[in-house]
Amino acid sequence: MSGTANAFRSAYDLAFQVSPIILTGGIASGLLGSALPIIGLVGQLASFAQGALTNGLSSQDFFAKYVPIPGSNIISNAVATYPFANQQVAANAIIEQPLNVSLRMIAPVKDNGGYLTKLALFTALRTSLQQHNVSGGTYAIATPAYIYTNCLMTGMTDITGGDTEQQQIEWQIDFVKPLISKQSAAQAFSALMGKLAGGQQINNPSSWSGAGAAAGTQAPGALSLVAGAQNLAAGVNSFLSAPI
């Protein structure tokens, strides 16, 4: 495999398997960009992350790797169950729902010394995550198909199977992306539902459907999401490139 291919593979592993969870706000508020990759919570500091890119280390060289669990969604809508006037009205009477994403954290003990540090590492990780949660911190979750921002952690559960002699080495971490602002709540309504909520009469339902009807409310939200993702990426890159 060429050096370029190795670099791309290492970058992919770092982004989506080694540290796909980015803590934002909360305990990361004092850091540059208010962002902290999860590898910073278990002793894998920026210098080690840089070594993965320059020396060709794989995700197996880190404390843990993360894999998206099937069942996460990137679109979730609810449709009313009352009778509609026609199919066009039914197609527009939807309300956006919070998104859910779960990761499988795989953290086996790789050597005899690891058994001595496992308890300390997991205790520190649990304490840091809990402090981040109660401090109002959020998470950005990077998956190969979609980047979830402004997520909240809802649980971390042991899912270790019986195919290994080690215990508590696989964990399911659940996140939810709620509607956390008035702007997001307003965008959750389709064009038709928004006008119904405003008390407007249904004179010509066909004029309320399509991209044109929703463009005025959706475009600002899309631009804000892009700007937020760019700021988050800049903060993470600065953290990983900072000297120790």
- Choice between 160 and 201, residue whose per-residue pLDDT is larger: 160
CA 13: distance to chain centroid?
16
What's the rounded mean pLDDT across residues 82-105? 85
Report pLDDT digits (tens) over 128-145.
999 999 999 999 999 999
- Choice between 163 and 157, residue whose per-residue pLDDT is larger: 157
- The 3-state DSSP class for residue 60 equals helix
- Choice between 185 and 88, residue whose per-residue pLDDT is larger: 88
Report pLDDT digits (tens) over 34-61.
899 988 776 543 333 344 444 444 445 5
pLDDT value of residue 110: 77
What is the helix (H) or strand (E) element at residue 213, kind and residue range?
Answer: helix 211-241
pLDDT value of residue 50: 40
- Decide if pLDDT at 92 tops 80: no
Q: Would you tell me the crossing angle of helices 46-55 and 3-13 to the nearest 10 degrees?
A: 150
pLDDT value of residue 89: 75
pLDDT value of residue 201: 59
What's the rounded mean pLDDT across residues 15-42? 88
Of 5-9, 11-15, 166-170, 220-224, give the lowest mean pLDDT range.
220-224
Flag whether the pTM goes above 0.85.
Answer: no
Cα separation, 157 vs 144, in Å, equals 23
**CB neighbours of 229 closer than 8 A, spacing ≥ 6?**
147, 149
Cα separation, 151 vs 158, in Å, equals 21
Mean pLDDT for the chain overall: 75
Label residue 244 by pLDDT band (50, 70, 90).
very low
Report pLDDT digits (tens) over 185-241.
666 665 556 666 666 655 655 555 444 444 444 444 445 555 555 555 555 555 545
